[in-house]
């Protein structure tokens, strides 16, 4: 049995939907359209900076992603034994922008100069991985000790 519900989207638009998923699909499509409309060269290349005879154009690496899901189902209420239905959906997204380098223009020549991360700052992304591996290793060792 499919039921129809009217909801109001965040931008104030009314929408009639069936089971979970219709709302999510519409919201993700609108979000992708809005972000995609802003995804242009200005996200990757910064405003040129001129100093004397040299012009520098900052360059960034930009990534984004979106995801979502939804579902519906029925189960029996543990107290009453009556069938109950439910539905839900959710979604999310993220953006990652990092400096990649710069374009240096001087004497009629353009040269791309990458920014290479070195030193302690380059290791920061590895900290969560190391922590998870340490936690998992401790759990495995504990389980092995309790087993024998």
pLDDT digit string, tens, across residues 43-68: 677 888 999 999 999 988 888 777 77
3-state secondary structure of 125: helix
For residues 88 and 108, the model is more confident at: 108
- pLDDT, tens digit, for every residue of 20-43? 456 666 766 776 677 666 666 676
Query: What's the confidence (pLDDT) of residue 13?
Result: 67
* pTM to 2 decimal places: 0.45
DSSP secondary structure, 56-83, as one string = EEEEEEEEEEEEEEEEEEEEE-TTT--E
């Amino acid at each position: 049995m499919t039921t129809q519900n009217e909801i109001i989207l965040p931008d104030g638009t009314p929408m009639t939907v069936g089971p979970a998923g219709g709302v999510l699909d519409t919201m993700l499509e609108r979000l992708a359209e809005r972000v995609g409309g802003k995804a242009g060269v200005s996200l990757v290349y910064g405003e040129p900076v001129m100093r004397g005879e040299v012009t520098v154009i900052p360059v960034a690496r930009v990534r984004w992603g979106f995801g979502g899901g939804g579902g519906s189902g029925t189960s029996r209420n543990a107290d009453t034994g009556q069938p109950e239905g439910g539905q839900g959906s959710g979604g999310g997204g993220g953006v990652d922008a990092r400096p990649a380098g710069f374009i240096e223009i001087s004497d009629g020549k353009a040269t791309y100069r990458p920014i290479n991360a070195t030193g302690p700052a380059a290791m920061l992304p590895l900290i969560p991985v190391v922590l998870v591996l340490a936690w998992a290793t401790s759990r495995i060792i504990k389980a092995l000790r309790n087993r024998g």
